[in-house]
Amino acid sequence: MTARLPLRGLFLPVLLIALWQVWGFGLPEKSRAPLPLEVVEAAARLIGSGDLPNAVLMSLGRVATGFLLAGSLALVLGLLMGYIRTVERNLDPIIESFRPVAPIALLPLAILWFGTGTPAAVFVVAYAAFFPMIINTIHGVKTAERRLVQAAQTLGLSRWRILQAVILPAALPAIFVGARLSMGSAWMSIVAAELAVGSKGGGGGTGGIGEMMFVFYAYYIELNSIVVCMITVGLVALAIDHGLRRLQRWMLPWA
């Protein structure tokens, strides 16, 4: 029964796509509606030429850079904020006043400072990745079991050793939640940032997936290719989250 469920779940989507295609046969030539078969064709073309894989790799590289920069800063600050009251008292107001500012709202600033290339995109991604990571790290530190800290204290560990050997591993499950949310938010904002930056270079070899979408939308008005990009964005997000979950299961076998 559980094995049949996913197949049954596919029934309605497949039916809708088929209906959509049938409806499409009745449309005049040059209509702006993307059609399933043409989307598949566009996908084959974009993958075959290497344009789509290259664009995805470009965007992933930017996301990884921004995520690693922001993630490691957020991890260190989050550990200290959760552990030391004075640090939290001083940093919390600053962080909370930046948090409601949407990453994409920083784009004008990023473009003025860094231009329209990779550094601006990385800046926006890093900003987006920072908050989920730091908030979950603080939460993880604060909810670390007091008993475990006491056990370590009575074994004679110093305050800093306890942070390293007890608080950090106890907070890891929460830190992983932070990393997954952070990656999700980084990937969403890279697409938005690249879309907004547009492409001077014309997509292709140097741009990311968002820039590629911009080119299809602004220069070619190629809806089928835009849909291919949309689907790709979703699939990549799924793959990232799946990968992080597997990494978590592998790294935290006890949790």
Partner 1 sequence: MGMNGAAKLALANVRKEFVVPRTNEQVVAVEDVSLAVEAGEFLVIVGPSGCGKSTILNLLAGLEMPSGGRVEMDGRAIEGPAAERGMVFQDYALFPWKTVFENVEFGLRYGPRRSTVGAGERRERVRQYIELVNLQGSAQKYPHELSGGMRQRCAIARLLANEPEVLLMDEPFAALDAQTRIILQEELLRIWGEVRPQSKRKTVVFITHSIDEAVFLADRVVVMSSHPGRFIRTFEVDLARPRNETVRSDARFSALSQEIWSLIRDEVYRAAMTGDGGQG
Q: Which of 18, 105, 239, 252 binds partner 1 (CB under 8 A)?
A: 252
Closest CA to 209 of 224, 185, 225: 225
Residue-wise DSSP of 31-56: -S---HHHHHHHHHHHHHTTHHHHHH
Q: Which is nearer to partner 1, 16 or 155 (CB)?
A: 155
Q: Which is nearer to partner 1, 70 or 174 (CB)?
A: 174
Closest CA to 243 of 173, 168, 183, 171: 183
CA 123 centroid distance within chain? 14
97 contributes a contact to partner 1 by CB under 8 A: no
Question: Cα separation of 239 and 191, whole Å?
Answer: 16
* Token pair belonging to 32: 């702006």
Q: Tell me the residue type at 11.
A: F
| Per rule CB under 8 A, count of chain residues that contact partner 1 | 23
Q: Which is nearer to partner 1, 17 or 157 (CB)?
A: 157
Question: Which helix (H) or strand (E) segment is 7 a member of?
Answer: helix 5-25
Q: Which of 11, 25, 250, 254 binds partner 1 (CB under 8 A)?
A: 254
CB of 39 closer than 8 Å to CB of 223:
no
Q: Which is nearer to partner 1, 151 or 235 (CB)?
A: 151
Q: How far is the CB of 146 from partner 1 (least distance, A)?
A: 9
77 contributes a contact to partner 1 by CB under 8 A: no
Q: Which is nearer to partner 1, 49 or 150 (CB)?
A: 150
80 contributes a contact to partner 1 by CB under 8 A: no
Site for partner 1 in 141-170 (CB under 8 A): 145, 147-148, 150-158, 161, 164-166, 169-170
Residue-wise DSSP of 71-110: HHHHHHHHHHHHH-HHHHHHHHHHHHHHTTS-GGGGHHHH
Binding mask 194-233 for partner 1 (x = CB under 8 A): ----------------------------------------
Site for partner 1 in 170-189 (CB under 8 A): 170, 172
Does residue 254 sit in helix, strand or coil?
coil
Q: Which residues bind partner 1 (CB under 8 A)?
A: 145, 147-148, 150-158, 161, 164-166, 169-170, 172, 252-255
